[in-house]
Amino acid sequence: MKNYIIDKASWHTQRPRNYEFDKTRIYKYLRSLIDYLTANGLLNNPILAADQEVTDDTQIMASDLTEEGYEFIKVVYGKSKWIDMVVEGKKSPDDYKLLDKALKKIREPK
C-alpha cells in the first residue's frame, strides 16, 4: 500500500471560511478519532502520546493503520457522516455511535 496522508489537522483549520470557526473543534475531533483507533487496535504504531496535544501538524498516515484500520477509515471517511457532524458542531467528538457502527460493519463475517 502506498503511504500517504489520510487526514491532517491543518487541512481543516487553515481552510478559508466566511464565518467564525473554532479550530479547537478540529483538534478535539482528531484526538477523538486517534483515541478511538488506538482503543480498538486499528493502529500499527501510536500517532500521539496520551498527554500529547493535537496541533496543526498532527496527521494520520496510511502506514499508521492496520489493514482493518484502513478499511475502517475508508468507511468512516466515505459513508459515515460522523466527521462532518463533529466539525460542524452537530455531534460531540466523543459520540462514537457512528464509529462503532462502522467498525461492527467491517468486523462482521462476510
pLDDT in tens, 40-85: 999 998 999 888 999 999 999 999 999 999 999 988 887 667 888 8
Find cell 496543526 and name the residue: 56
Give tens-digit pLDDT for 89-108.
Answer: 888 888 999 899 989 989 98
Looking at residue 12, its pLDDT comes to: 86
Evaluate if residue 14 carries a pLDDT over 80: yes
Give the relative orientation of helices 97-107 and 67-78 as an angle to the nearest 10 degrees: 130
Evaluate if residue 6 carries a pLDDT over 90: yes
Q: What amino acid is encoded at 14 in this protein?
A: Q
Q: How far is CA 8 from the centre of its chain?
A: 9
Mean pLDDT of 24-42: 94
Per the model's pLDDT, the better-predicted residue between 88 and 35 turns out to be 35
The radius of gyration of the chain from alpha carbons, rounded to an integer in Å, stands at 14
Looking at residue 16, its pLDDT comes to: 82
Q: Given pLDDT bands bounded at 50, 70 and 90, which one contains residue 1?
A: low
